[in-house]
Amino acid sequence: MNKVHSVYLHIPFCQKRCSYCDFNTFSGLSHLIPAYIHQLRREISYYGNKFAKDLAVKTIFFGGGTPSLLDATLFNSLMDELSDNFRILDNAEISLEANPGTVTLEYLQNLLEIGFNRISFGIQTSNPVYLELLGRIHDHYQSIQAIQWAKQAGFTNINLDLIYGLPGQTNDEWKKTLEDSLSLSTQHISLYALGIEENTPLYDWVDKGMVENPDPDLAAEMYELADQLLVENGYACYEISNYYKVDENIDYRCQHNLQYWRNQPYLGLGAGAHGYSNDVRYENVNGIMEYINLQKDTNLLSTLKNPVVKELTKIDTFTAMQETMMVGLRLVSEGVSISEFSKRFSVSPLEIFTKEIEFLIKNHLLEIVDDDIIRLTKNARLVGNQVFLQFVN
Ligand code: SF4
């Protein structure tokens, strides 16, 4: 029997490219949206048939790009296709990413009616100078409005994405963004340290000295400041960069992302999407036209291999154990359970990674709690990547 999966659907369209963004997304191609959605529906039915329409799905996530550029009617058709092809569990989390500059109250009401129960807004900063530098299409008033509309429409699980470590940003400016964000009283907040990625306008500006290169030490201070403020305001950190409002009746952690961090299976659909299912990791082609054309001429019901998959990697048991440690340690309180790991792989992580775990404990980067939970120490959160690398060959 197949394990319960999550499903990610990539919507690679944006109104305008932000200056820092290196995601697989395109502006100026919105005329391709109908053809893209048509093929996305075909890809859904490909996997539906592959799993004999019996795959249980616990979370669905529309990410991008800017999924909120799609008409609600298109989401309706995608949700119908998903329900026809998968066994969507009753309490499934169904999320979408939205740009505050693209929504209206009516649109959000339609999304809720279609079945979305979680929405994530990329507000990034409340400071107009940095919104301009980042090339965002919205101002902070639109962010406030979008969140008010989402609440008014009936969303009770709302996330905000924030970016820190911006060129020239001071601790005080970051604190103001945090305070402005806290006043919006959402159930979840995600923090991202700005990366200066190659092939972006921001990279060129930094390279040419037009914009200051962000200081990593200052970014670390900003992370600590955010952690302190968020915790003081009733949020708890459950993944290095993710905080949820603590509520004894409702778990506001992002269930979709928890599936990744617990190294559990998910299907990735759409251009540039990644998936992990039946011990295979795969990656789809990136280009929108390529994605459309590769499927257009194929009878998906009779093909064994999904034509849009450009790379397939079989994950052997040892690699799966390494990956389970690397992603699981991102969960700062849940960590990696020794008993769960042993049940899954028939061997204890303490036996397989004896040297690595001993070394990290000795250096105060890992701890074992309740004789079962291996997790990062608080100090290790800022050097998480160095800890995860210990589990790579
Ligand atoms: S809206 Fe998001 S996905 Fe689109 S360009 Fe900006 S950062 Fe990238």
Annotation: CATH topology of 5-260: TIM Barrel (3.20.20)
Residue 304 near residue 298, CB atoms below 8 Å:
no
Average pLDDT of the chain is 96
Ligand 1 center to residue 21 CA distance, Å?
Answer: 6
d(CA 123, CA 189): 10
The predicted pLDDT at position 386 comes to 92
Ligand 1 center to residue 369 CA distance, Å?
Answer: 39
d(CA 6, CA 314): 19
Ligand 1 closest atom vs CA 25: 3
Closest residue CA from atom 5 of ligand 1 = 17
Ligand 1 center to residue 60 CA distance, Å?
Answer: 20
Ligand 1 center to residue 17 CA distance, Å?
Answer: 6
The predicted pLDDT at position 296 comes to 83
One-letter amino acid identity for 352? I
- Is the pLDDT reported for residue 385 higher than 80? yes
Closest C-alpha among 297, 349, 281 to residue 318: 349
Q: Where are the domains of the chain?
A: 5-260, 336-389
Ligand 1 center to residue 245 CA distance, Å?
Answer: 26
Residue 13 dihedral angles phi and psi, to the nearest 5°: -120, 135
Contacts of residue 26, Cβ cutoff 8 Å, sequence gap at least 6: 12, 13, 14, 288
Closest residue CA from atom 3 of ligand 1 = 65
Q: What is the widest separation between alpha-carbon atoms in the chain?
A: 59
The percent of residues in the chain predicted with pLDDT above 90, rounded, is 96
Taking only the tens place, the pLDDT of each residue in 175-206 is: 999 999 999 999 999 999 999 999 999 999 99
Q: What angle do CA 94, 100, 104 make, to 5 degrees?
A: 80
**Dihedral, CA of residue 263, residue 325, residue 285 and residue 303, to nearest 10:** -50
Ligand 1 closest atom vs CA 64: 3
Ligand 1 center to residue 33 CA distance, Å?
Answer: 16
Ligand 1 closest atom vs CA 21: 8
Ligand 1 center to residue 129 CA distance, Å?
Answer: 18
Cβ density class 321-345: b for 16+ within 10 Å, e for less: bbbbbbbbbbbbebbbbbebbbeee
Choose which residue among 25, 161, 202 to substitute to test ligand 1 binding: the one with the highest number of ligand atoms within 8 A of its C-beta: 25
- Is the pLDDT reported for residue 77 higher than 80? yes
What DSSP string describes 251-265? --S-HHHHHHHTT--
Taking only the tens place, the pLDDT of each residue in 310-337 is: 999 999 999 999 999 999 999 999 999 9
Kind of pairing between the strands at 158-164 and 366-369: unpaired
Taking only the tens place, the pLDDT of each residue in 16-67 is: 999 999 999 999 999 999 999 999 999 999 999 999 999 999 999 999 999 9
Choose which residue among 17, 70, 162 to substitute to test ligand 1 binding: the one with the highest number of ligand atoms within 8 A of its C-beta: 17
Ligand 1 closest atom vs CA 14: 4
**Other CB atoms within 10 Å distance of the CB of residue 39:** 22
Choose which residue among 16, 18, 200 to substitute to test ligand 1 binding: the one with the highest number of ligand atoms within 8 A of its C-beta: 18
With tokens 């909120």, the residue in question is: 68
Residue 360 dihedral angles phi and psi, to the nearest 5°: -70, -35
With bands split at pLDDT 50, 70 and 90, how would you rate the model's confidence at 98? very high
Reduced to 3 states, what is the DSSP secondary structure of residue 123?
Answer: strand
Ligand 1 closest atom vs CA 16: 5
Ligand 1 closest atom vs CA 99: 1
Residue ranges in 262-377 assigned as alpha helix (H): 288-296, 317-328, 338-345, 349-352, 354-362
d(CA 196, CA 380): 23
The predicted pLDDT at position 301 comes to 67
**Other CB atoms within 10 Å distance of the CB of residue 272:** 20
Distance between terminal CA atoms of the chain? Answer: 32
With tokens 């960069």, the residue in question is: 241
Residue 42 in tokens:
């075909």
Closest residue CA from atom 2 of ligand 1 = 65
Q: What is the DSSP letter of 210?
A: S
d(CA 285, CA 272): 5
Contacts of residue 83, Cβ cutoff 8 Å, sequence gap at least 6: none
**Other CB atoms within 10 Å distance of the CB of residue 354:** 11
Q: List all residues whose CB is within 6 A of at least one atom of ligand 1.
A: 14, 17-18, 21, 23, 25, 64-66, 99, 122
Residue 348 near residue 338, CB atoms below 8 Å:
yes
